[in-house]
Amino acid sequence: MPLTPKAVRGVPPRTGYSIAFGNKKSCIFKLLSHTLKTLHMSYEFSGGYKIREQSAPHFLTFSIIGWVDIFTRQSYRDIIIDSFRFCQAKKNLRIGGYVIMSNHVHVIWTAPDGNLSDIIRDFKTFTSKMMIRQVHKGPESRKEWLDYMFRFFAKQTNANETYKIWTNDNHPESIYTHEFLISKLHYIHENPVRAGLVKNAPEYLYSSAMNYAGGNGLI
C-alpha cells in the first residue's frame, strides 16, 4: 500500500498526512528536505508550466482533450490504475496521491531517478493506446462518437497521430512546502465530493483517500 495516514506535528489530525513513496515510509519534511535546498520554479509564465526539478514531488493534472468523459466507464479507469502500478514497479515512480475523475486525473508524483518528464510521456502514450484499443474492443455504446472525437482532435495538431486523447499540458506544480502538500492532497481527495459523487472522500474507490483513511486502496 503506497500511502499511509499519520499525524504530522503542528497539523490537525484530519489533515495530517505522511507519504510512503515506494516501499519506504517517511515524513514529508524528510522527503522534501533535499528538494527545498535545490528547488527551482516549476513553470515559466511565458511558455506555460514546465518541470524544472525532475526528481522533485509534483502535483500534476492529466486532462482528456475536449473534456470527453471517458472515465465514466470503469474499464478506462482500470487502465489508468494498471499503468500506475506498472510505473511504480518498473519505473520507480512514487505516488503520493491521485484521483480519477470523469475527464481528468490529478496525481502527486515523484521520480527519484530524475526522469519525471519521461515517465509522464510514457504513461500518456501507453494509456492512450490502451484506451483507444478499449474503445474499439468494447463493450462501448459510444464507440463511433469517441472514435470521431479523438480523430478530430488529432487532426487539429501538427503531430502525426491518428488519435489524440490527452491534452499536451500537465500543469505541473512543484510541491515545495508541507502546507502546499496538504492543500493539494485535500484538493485531490475532495474532487469526488465536490462533484457530488460521494459524501465522504474515502468512499470514492478511484482515489488515494481510502489509503489515507487507513484502508486498502487500489494501489
Domain ranges of the chain: 3-212
Compare 10 and 86 and report the one with higher pLDDT.
86
pLDDT per position as a tens digit, 109-158: 999 999 999 999 999 999 999 999 999 999 999 999 999 999 999 999 88
CATH number for the segment(s) 3-212: 3.30.70.1290
Task: Return d(Cα 60, Cα 9) in angstroms, integer.
Answer: 26
pLDDT of residue 1 exceeding 50, the answer is no
pLDDT score recorded for residue 48: 52
